[in-house]
Amino acid sequence: MPDPIDPIAVTAYTATSALGRGRDAHLAALRERRSGLRANDFTAAALPCAIGRVDGVEDAALPDALATHECRNNRLAWLALQADGFLDAARAAIARHGASRVALLLGTSTASIGESEASYRDLEDGRMPAWAQRPEVHNPHSLGLFLRNLLGVRGPCLTTATACSSSAKIFAKAERMIRLGLVDAAILAGVDTLCDSVLYGFNSLELVSPDPCRPFDVARRGISIGEAAGFALLERDGDATRPHLVGWGESSDAHHMSTPHPEGLGARLAMTDALARAGLTPADVGYINLHGTATPKNDEVEAGVVAALFPAHVRASSTKGWTGHTLGAAGILEAVVSLLVLEHGVVPGLLGTTELDPVCGPQIAIDNANAEVCVALSNSFGFGGSNSTLAFARGRRAA
């Protein structure tokens, strides 16, 4: 079993999704049980499904000095950075620690592929049009290039692309870098935007529900795809009153490209390792934000592992009924939800779900609850069996 780690303060965090911009918008939507999902109005062919689209991205033009990075993904990142004072907090941390002592860690699965799609739709005599001839946006590290130029960070700048676990795994990467003394702080960013490749690709796998998704429902029919941008700032010796990252677990079961291990071996290992690094037992957990995609196999396997590992008093739910599945941004978006639970005591249930699958244990609940939660876990499981679980604790309990 892994050794416990020292807690690291999350000194600032924010998210923008179909629920709105910033922490207050997300907290209000959770309390009101108000979904951000709507009928697909993104794809030209109007694939019949529900999506979690962020309003205002089309109007969020980048500053002129960064125009070479123009694409939907970077526009959403720019929009989200301005919520909750995060851009100011990030710049203050860079000034405090020094640009070379701050890491910039990115999680994304599709990056700016939407810009490449548009380029190929607008070919001129078989060539990419002049407006699209910007190598900065036609590669998986486009988000990192944009944010590095914007923020002036000179420490490690790395992109993780492990499908739906991408922006969860960067929390673990940040902890390792800080513990090893490579940096004193890390700015984490997870951003993925809607694009045709994702919508039609998942539809070709028969994983997209024609209706808003219903996680853990006995009649669930698949995912609803969304878009989001989330940011977090982790600092060595941060404010003890802030929430802390206290543990993480990662695994790669490599059972199948798009189906979880039938016994949930990778998911179980990620959860137990996160608890071990946090020095916690399953009974110490107050809330688990589940991966809960509303696909038949993921929900069945994840529910079974949770029922076997955790006592009945632990609350668990998926919040994808609010936001949709935001792919590479899901890890950090749902980490933000977990942090909101710790700070405000609003424990979300399931949205869109009416009858729980019998495989679900007593931990998984449909209705919201108000409760003091000291420890929260957040699960993110990606294609190919790339699994990640994060453990967060509230305030001084982690110190």
Selecting among 49, 164, 213, 360, the annotated active-site residue is: 164
Clarify whether 164 is annotated catalytic: yes
- Catalytic residue chosen out of the listed positions 26, 244, 261, 325: 325
Residue 33, judged by CB atoms within 10 A of its CB (0-12, 13-18, 19+), counts as middle
Catalytic residue among 69, 244, 261, 291: 291
325 is catalytic: yes
49 catalytic residue (yes or no): no
Sign of dihedral through CA atoms 363, 364, 367, 368?
Answer: positive
- The catalytic site residues sit at 164, 291, 325
